[in-house]
């Protein structure tokens, strides 16, 4: 009887050598005359264990990691195929690994369990049930279900998804669009990538439901060019979904139409901003548009458009399958459901952590993360990407929810958490924030375009000890100008990391 072995195929597993490990496993099995069935599954998001090899046993899947190519022979010797757990790389039953067991996975329930491209696997794990339900409902009933879930946009702005959909549904037009923002540019984030690489049909299903809800027949996924693996897997998933009748002009025999196409970005961070993204999709420079009009009224090619983040759309199949209330039962206050957090940077156990809103940052970094990779004291943590504040230890007990973070001038953003040890120079980090803005500003508004350039210069003077007090005051003033005067979040939030570094790590500006 053949034994099922799983070797993940997501970007991180591949970056750590998963293809080489898979090849060695096949070669070793063949040399030893052992019958195996090798499955390239998605990743569970336990990245410090990648490549994480799993073996199916009667008791459940057993994990080994991180496996290097040269460990394979020894793993076979130690009884890999017989479910033996004696090898030092053995992590026991995958589902019992505390990092995974303590999570509340709704959106990522299938990630790493299934073969991402297998429609049969997807269906066997509740896939397309939400779509089947949606096909029985009228448009308003679908929108009402999403409203009842309390889902708020997971891209960072946290706007209620149901209200956005209602606006597009109510806008009369011949043509409407669903646009998925997969321009996941924030450092420390990879949840969108994981959805597209590990469970692509979930996003296809979510977008199709969105199309049915608002009366849109065309969807675009705007994917960043820095994600070649996601691009390859997702394109293949669209082709297979079309062939199986889940996309196209007659979805599951309903007579309803929905088509999907991936459009590749071209290395511009600003195109994660929704109006810039729409310009880019139209084939233009990614210049930010002034709002209003909202994209929900005048969006892509001037038509009413839903622009949602990958995670928002990926939450929709669960909501239409289990009901809006089942989703709203998770969370706290006005932050309902779960938030996939991403633990990254200088961390011992990094990866994807999906939890109901309300856990603390400290739990995440210590209980899940196990502290820093370097074993040095943790000093600062940036939450919410390059436009998010740096938080000092006094703020690590904040609950992870949109309002608690906003109250201290921080943002949860897309859920990225980047940890830094005590070797970090926070004045250098502040300088980088301004530098990043000079590189990535679309240039349309002056506070962002010129302000960031002046910001780099002023921080350089401060770090060189030139008129330090006066320049610190100037920097404070410049930050306020950018904050109040910029057209979008690029210039308007670049001051967050700078101000937080100045406020909580002021010593670093005086060395």
Should residue 44 be labelled a site residue for other proteins when binding is judged by CB under 8 A? no
Quick one: which of 337, 306, 108, 322 has its CA closest to 207? 306
For other proteins, the closer of residues 202 and 268 by Cβ is 268
Q: Write phi, then psi, for 353 (nearest 5 degrees).
A: -130, 105
DSSP state of 302: G
Q: How far apart are CA 216 and CA 148, in angstroms?
A: 21
The CB density around residue 232, as the number of other CB atoms within 10 Å, is 13
Quick one: which of 144, 25, 4 has its CA closest to 83? 4
| Residue-wise DSSP of 339-387 | EEEEEEES-SS-EEEEEETT-BHHIIIIIIT-S-TT-SPEEEEEESGGG
Site residue total, other proteins (CB under 8 A): 59
Which segment (54-62, 99-107, 134-142, 187-195) binds other proteins by CB under 8 A?
187-195
Residues 358 and 401: beta-carbon distance below 8 Å: yes
C-alpha atoms less than 13 angstroms from C-alpha of 322 in its C-beta half-sphere: 17
Should residue 312 be labelled a site residue for other proteins when binding is judged by CB under 8 A? no
Should residue 508 be labelled a site residue for other proteins when binding is judged by CB under 8 A? no
Should residue 14 be labelled a site residue for other proteins when binding is judged by CB under 8 A? yes
Q: What residues between 52 and 81 interact with other proteins by CB under 8 A?
A: none
Q: What residues between 204 and 233 interact with other proteins by CB under 8 A?
A: 225-229
Which segment (10-18, 135-143, 242-250, 288-296) binds other proteins by CB under 8 A?
10-18
Should residue 154 be labelled a site residue for other proteins when binding is judged by CB under 8 A? no
In the complex, the smallest distance separating the C-beta of residue 226 from other proteins, rounded to whole angstroms, is 5
Ramachandran class of 332: left when φ > 0, alpha when ψ lies in -120 to 50, beta otherwise = beta
The answer for residues whose C-beta is within 8 angstroms of residue 197's C-beta and 6 or more apart is: 9, 10, 11, 42, 43, 116, 229, 230, 233, 234
Binding residue for other proteins, selected from 42, 351, 451, 455, defined by CB under 8 A: 351
Which segment (144-152, 308-316, 336-344, 406-414) binds other proteins by CB under 8 A?
336-344
Binding residue for other proteins, selected from 9, 16, 21, 241, defined by CB under 8 A: 16
In the complex, the smallest distance separating the C-beta of residue 126 from other proteins, rounded to whole angstroms, is 26
In the complex, the smallest distance separating the C-beta of residue 76 from other proteins, rounded to whole angstroms, is 25
Q: Per-residue contact track with other proteins, 442 to 461, x per CB under 8 A?
A: x-------------------
Q: Which H or E run includes 43?
A: none
Strands of the sheet with 218-223, listed across from one edge: 259-264, 218-223, 177-182, 305-309
Strands of the sheet with 338-345, listed across from one edge: 351-356, 338-345, 416-421, 378-383, 390-391
In the complex, the smallest distance separating the C-beta of residue 129 from other proteins, rounded to whole angstroms, is 29
Tokens encoding 356:
């109901």
Binding residue for other proteins, selected from 33, 255, 394, 439, defined by CB under 8 A: 439
Q: Per-residue contact track with other proteins, 382 to 411, x per CB under 8 A?
A: x---x-------------------------
Q: How far apart are CA 11 and CA 231, in angstroms?
A: 11
Residues 452 and 491: beta-carbon distance below 8 Å: yes
Q: How far apart are CA 426 and CA 390, in angstroms?
A: 9
Should residue 116 be labelled a site residue for other proteins when binding is judged by CB under 8 A? no
Should residue 284 be labelled a site residue for other proteins when binding is judged by CB under 8 A? yes
Binding residue for other proteins, selected from 41, 181, 189, 499, defined by CB under 8 A: 189
Binding residue for other proteins, selected from 350, 451, 492, 495, defined by CB under 8 A: 350
Q: How far apart are CA 213 and CA 147, in angstroms?
A: 12
For other proteins, the closer of residues 210 and 347 by Cβ is 347
Burial category of 292 from C-beta neighbours within 10 Å (exposed 0-12, middle 13-18, buried 19 and up): exposed
Which segment (104-112, 119-127, 202-210, 413-421) binds other proteins by CB under 8 A?
413-421
Binding residue for other proteins, selected from 267, 293, 333, 409, defined by CB under 8 A: 267
DSSP state of 287: P
Binding residue for other proteins, selected from 48, 122, 201, 318, defined by CB under 8 A: 48
Binding residue for other proteins, selected from 199, 205, 274, 440, defined by CB under 8 A: 440
Binding residue for other proteins, selected from 76, 99, 269, 357, defined by CB under 8 A: 269
* Chain positions contacting other proteins, by CB under 8 A: 11-12, 14-16, 47-48, 50, 184-190, 193, 225-229, 263-269, 280-286, 301, 342-347, 350-351, 373, 382, 386, 416, 418-421, 424, 429, 432, 436, 439-440, 442
């Amino acid at each position: 009887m053949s034994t099922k072995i799983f070797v993940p195929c997501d970007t991180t597993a591949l970056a750590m050598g998963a293809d080489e490990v898979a090849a060695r496993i096949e070669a070793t099995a063949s040399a030893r005359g052992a019958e195996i069935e090798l499955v390239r599954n998605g990743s569970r998001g336990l990245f410090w264990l990648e490549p994480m090899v799993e073996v199916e046993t009667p008791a459940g899947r057993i994990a080994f990691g991180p496996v290097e190519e040269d460990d394979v022979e020894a793993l076979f010797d130690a009884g890999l195929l017989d479910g033996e757990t004696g090898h030092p790389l053995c992590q026991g039953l995958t589902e019992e690994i505390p990092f995974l067991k303590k999570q509340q996975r709704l959106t990522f329930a299938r990630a790493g369990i299934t073969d991402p491209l297998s429609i049969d696997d997807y269906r066997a794990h509740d896939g397309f049930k939400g779509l089947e339900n949606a096909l029985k409902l009228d448009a308003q009933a679908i929108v009402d279900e999403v409203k009842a879930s309390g889902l708020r946009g997971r891209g960072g702005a946290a706007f209620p998804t149901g209200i956005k959909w209602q606006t597009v549904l109510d806008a009369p037009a011949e043509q409407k669009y669903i646009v998925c923002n997969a321009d996941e540019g924030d450092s420390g984030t990879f949840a969108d990538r994981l959805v597209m690489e590990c469970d692509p049909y979930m996003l296809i299903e979510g977008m199709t439901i969105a199309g049915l809800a608002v009366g849109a027949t065309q969807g675009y996924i705007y994917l960043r060019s820095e994600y070649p693996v996601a691009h390859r897997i997702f394109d293949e998933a669209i082709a297979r979904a079309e062939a199986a009748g889940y996309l196209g002009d007659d979805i599951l025999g309903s007579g309803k139409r929905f088509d999907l196409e991936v459009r590749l970005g071209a290395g511009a961070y600003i195109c994660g901003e929704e109006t810039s993204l729409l310009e880019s999709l139209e084939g233009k420079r990614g210049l930010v548009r002034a709002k209003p009009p909202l994209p929900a009224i005048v969006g892509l090619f001037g038509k009413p458009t839903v622009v949602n983040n990958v995670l928002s759309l990926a939450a929709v199949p669960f909501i239409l399958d289990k009901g809006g209330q089942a989703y709203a039962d998770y969370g706290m206050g006005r932050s309902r459901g779960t938030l996939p957090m991403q633990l990254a940077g200088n961390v011992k156990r990094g990866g994807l952590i999906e939890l109901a809103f309300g856990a603390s940052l400290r739990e995440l970094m210590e209980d899940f993360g196990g502290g820093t990779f370097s074993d040095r004291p943790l000093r600062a943590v940036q939450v919410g990407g390059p436009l998010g504040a740096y938080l000092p230890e006094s703020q690590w007990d904040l609950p992870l929810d949109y309002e608690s973070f906003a109250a201290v001038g921080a943002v949860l953003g897309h859920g990225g958490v980047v940890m830094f040890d005590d070797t970090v120079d926070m004045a250098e980090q502040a300088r980088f924030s301004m530098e990043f803005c000079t590189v990535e500003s679309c240039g349309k508004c002056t506070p962002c375009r010129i302000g960031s350039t002046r910001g780099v210069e002023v921080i350089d003077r401060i770090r060189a000890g030139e008129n330090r007090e006066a320049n610190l005051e100037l920097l404070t003033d410049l930050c306020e100008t950018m904050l109040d005067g910029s057209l979008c979040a690029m210039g308007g939030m670049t001051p967050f990391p700078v101000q937080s570094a100045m406020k909580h790590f002021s010593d670093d500006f005086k060395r």
